[in-house]
Amino acid sequence: MTTPLMSTPDFVVAIPARYAASRLPDKPLQLIGNRPLVLHVALRALAAGARDVWVAADDERIANVLEGCGVRVAMTSPDHASGTDRLAECARIAGWSDDTIVVNLQGDEPFAPASGLQAAARALAESGAEMATLATPIEDAAALFDPNTVKLVRADDGTALYFSRAPIPWPRDAFADDRSVLPQGAHWLRHIGLYAYRTGFLKRFASLAPGRLERIESLEQLRALEAGFRIAVALSPEPFPPGVDTPEDLERAQRHWAATTAGH
């Protein structure tokens, strides 16, 4: 007998949006089709059925392109070191209670499926972990060896063991012979940079000092593991295209948008 899936709990979505991205200048305002990137992300969040959607911005130009779309904007400090710090300030501005489930949707995920946001909220509520996130299978060796593709390993109970830019786990014997293809029977996971946590833990997480592993890998989620907190990992229920970090990513996103809207 299978246990039925829990219904999606009540949740809010918070989107950190920083204007001065280092690898892609003016990133939130870059156009995909005729819409700015940050507007695509906001509309995706609204489609997920959240009780409330906020964009944590650091520049009035971001607020201006979101006017009238149905989301609320928190003007946060431009000096935050991370998106988590920005969201902690947003939570204070929004006045969420400590037990509110917050789904952190990165401001560079223009194709995030609504089901993915709902899955992260469910994973948090079902697992009892302090955080939840998503993953999707890696299908080719190029992605596995790409340091911009974050890999993760999870335990049998679905909680994260480690996140890395390196190819983990490493199939010693298979890769001794050939690293151009993925061996049969091994399953790698790409981390999707979407998180769910309750407001109380979000504030606590933002107050922690960066950990040693976080500094080595430049992966903020390792801070939580180093501090002894659990991160539940759910598989995305449908494809979750990569986000937009670089000019090449933007071109790919523009092609994807053109292909999906052709004929409409």
Over the stretch 172-209, which tens digit does the pLDDT of each residue have? 888 888 888 888 876 899 999 999 999 999 999 999 99
Alpha helices in 77-232 (DSSP H): 83-94, 114-127, 141-145, 172-177, 199-207, 212-217, 222-226
Confidence of residue 1 (pLDDT cuts 50, 70, 90): very low
Question: What six digits make up the tokens of 230?
Answer: 């659990």
How much is the pTM?
Answer: 0.91
pLDDT digits (tens, 9 = 90+) for 40-98: 999 999 999 999 999 999 999 999 999 999 999 999 999 988 889 999 999 999 999 99
Flag whether pLDDT at 249 surpasses 80: yes
Which residues, in sequence order, are CB contacts of 68 under 8 Å at separation 6+?
none
Which residues, in sequence order, are CB contacts of 164 under 8 Å at separation 6+?
150, 151, 152, 217, 219
Residue 113's pLDDT is 95
Mean pLDDT of 124-142: 95
d(CA 129, CA 107): 24
Flag whether pLDDT at 29 surpasses 80: yes
pLDDT digits (tens, 9 = 90+) for 201-228: 999 999 999 999 999 999 999 999 999 9
Flag whether pLDDT at 5 surpasses 70: no
Residue 215's pLDDT is 95
